């Protein structure tokens, strides 16, 4: 029996990333090598030590194979981190690995640009697969943190 997608119906924000479901749907152009980019400039989660909020700007690029990520389910998955406590590195890799497991892309790159914690911004990058020859992968477009100047 086919699982019902979250798209097109009311779906509550999952209580945690473990309870979130990433929906994968058929790639409408499986014979083409192209990049899909998701940008999440207002990501939030919690510091595992202090419980204070952490903020990040994510850029997720992937080259789909047979399946693509349904964007509403991605939005709900990312929102499920709001009350989740983890270090920046663990959070970034968890997101990348969950997307990779859901759609098995040819290539995936996640760039997590974290706002300063203790005065130090932490940027975390992870990728899997090989970028197909001839595919244009644009720069993530996020400038390094420069403070308020």
Q: 90 Cβ partners below 8 Å, 6+ apart?
A: none
**Which residues does the annotation mark as catalytic?**
47, 54
A 10 A CB-CB count for 27 gives 17
Q: At what angle do helices 88-103 and 71-79 cross, to 10 degrees?
A: 150
Check if the beta carbon of residue 48 is closer than 8 Å to that of residue 87. Answer: yes
User: Rounded to whole angstroms, how far apart are CA atoms 45 and 51?
Assistant: 9
Rounded distance between C-alpha atoms, residue 55 and residue 94, angstroms: 16
């Amino acid at each position: 029996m086919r699982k019902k997608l979250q798209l097109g119906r009311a779906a509550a924000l999952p209580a945690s990333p473990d309870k979130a479901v990433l929906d994968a749907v058929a790639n409408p152009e499986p014979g083409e090598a192209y990049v899909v980019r998701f940008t999440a400039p207002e990501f939030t989660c919690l510091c595992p030590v202090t419980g204070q909020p952490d903020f990040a700007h994510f850029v997720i690029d992937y080259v789909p194979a047979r399946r693509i990520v349904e964007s509403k389910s991605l939005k709900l998955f990312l929102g499920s981190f709001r009350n989740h406590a983890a270090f920046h590195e663990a959070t970034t890799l968890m997101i990348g690995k969950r997307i990779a497991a859901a759609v098995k892309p040819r290539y995936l790159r996640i760039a997590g640009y974290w706002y300063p914690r203790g005065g130090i911004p932490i940027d975390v990058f992870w990728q899997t697969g090989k970028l197909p020859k001839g595919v244009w992968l644009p720069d993530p477009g996020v400038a390094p943190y420069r403070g308020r100047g």
